[in-house]
Amino acid sequence: MIVRQMAVLMRLCGIFASEMAEMKDIRQLSLEQLTALFVEQGEKPFRARQLYEWLWKKSAWSFDHLTNLPLNIREWLAKDFVINAVEISEFQKSNDGTKKVAFGLHDGNLVEGVLIPTEKRLTACISSQVGCSLSCKFCATGYLDRKRNLDASEIYDQVVHIRNICDEEFHKPLTNIVYMGMGEPLLNYSNVLKSVELITSDQGLGMAARRITVSTAGIAGMIRRLGDDEVKFNLALSLHAANDEKRNEIMGINKTNNLDNLKSALKYYYQKTKNQVTLEYIVFAGFNDSIQDARELFDFAKQLPSKINIIEYNPIDNASFKNADLGKMEKFSRYLEEKGMNVYLRKSRGKDIDAACGQLANKST
């Protein structure tokens, strides 16, 4: 008898799960599609605008929260649609105040985001993919399989969660967003740009596009597309070596997107957007830390309006690279400064909880 009851229960659970899987996430619909849907249901078009505001301006994650919509509309929405909201799965705090958040997705996958607090800024570092396909040798995410792209709503939700942490713990607003977490943003182009729109739009979170930076390992064709789309946000290139032989060794993407192609694409991007590019350069001891390496970096950077971030390496389990000592990094930076480059020596944050640049790999406590 008990076995039969359990079998029935399991069958019902399976049916319920199947039905949930078939239900469409309401946030996949544009305002125009929502309006058409409401009219089809015999509702006034302004109700669609009310719903859209709840979803993207007020960040509602439950139909029960839509208090200015009539009960019958809320019941209809809950019956036919879902909101696949991202949830906080785990939370870690570094000794330096950095906070790492593991985000649980509706399909059971995890991605990570980071809140980096400084005296003047509160920066959210967010992910664009589950895993990554580029396999950069120095990056922990690169050793994970790429499972899928994140939807625009899943990227947006990360920002909302981190913004809420800023409000609750620092009583200050989130000031900056960097797409430097897990994944390659330009291999999830449409969802990344849609998420930026949701974050910057007056109908969304209303943040300034100049406060957003999208970082790429270097995909020339997509950089040109950013130029064609005349994006308003900032672009950063993870360079890390300014000659093809070394860059091929640590970043496989360079074999199909070499430095000449990248340089041409970045010039095109600047012509279209008038936004200077940030060149990110991790300094590895004994690999790319010599004055000759600095000279090659200068030769690359001088050809386009740019600034250079010199970044210390953050060790990961799968790689044998070591960080260059501070004196060598300062000498490297000084050479570039004397050549007239805008150079910033960046200190790592959150290293003790695997939250620093290149360390995100869904490692739990």
Q: For residue range 132-151, what is the model confidence (pLDDT) as tens digits? A: 989 888 888 778 889 999 99
Show the beta-strand stretches assigned E in 223-323: 234-238, 277-283, 306-312
Give the model's confidence band at 237: pLDDT under 50 very low, under 70 low, under 90 confident, else very high: very high
Residue 151's Cβ-count burial label (10 Å; 0-12, 13-18, 19+) is buried
Which is catalytic among the residues 125, 136, 166, 357?
Answer: 357
Is residue 136 flagged as an active site residue? Answer: no
Residue 55 pLDDT greater than 70, yes or no: yes
Q: Are 152 and 191 in contact (CB under 8 A)?
A: yes
Q: Which pLDDT does position 144 carry in this prediction? A: 84
> What does the block give as tokens for 3?
């076995």
Is residue 357 flagged as an active site residue? Answer: yes
Give the model's confidence band at 350: pLDDT under 50 very low, under 70 low, under 90 confident, else very high: low
Closest to 94 (Cα-Cα) out of 324, 314, 318, 317:
314
Q: Where in the chain is CATH 3.20.20.70?
A: 87-353
Residue 8 pLDDT greater than 50, yes or no: no
Q: For residue range 242-289, what is the model confidence (pLDDT) as tens digits? A: 999 999 999 999 999 999 999 999 999 999 999 999 999 999 999 999
Mean pLDDT, to the nearest integer, of 29-48? 96
Residue 191 pLDDT greater than 80, yes or no: yes
Q: Which pLDDT does position 13 carry in this prediction? A: 46
Q: For residue range 294-310, what is the model confidence (pLDDT) as tens digits? A: 999 999 999 899 999 99
Q: Are 331 and 283 in contact (CB under 8 A)?
A: no
Share of the chain above pLDDT 90, in %: 78
Which is catalytic among the residues 112, 154, 280, 312?
Answer: 112
Q: Where in the chain is CATH 1.10.150.530?
A: 25-82
Q: Which is the CATH superfamily of the domain at 87-353?
A: Aldolase class I (3.20.20.70)
CATH 1.25.40.10 given to domain 25-82: no
pTM here is 0.90
Q: For residue range 62-117, what is the model confidence (pLDDT) as tens digits? A: 999 999 999 999 999 999 999 999 999 998 888 888 999 999 999 999 999 999 99
Measure the CA–CA gap between 19 and 11, rounded to whole angstroms.
12
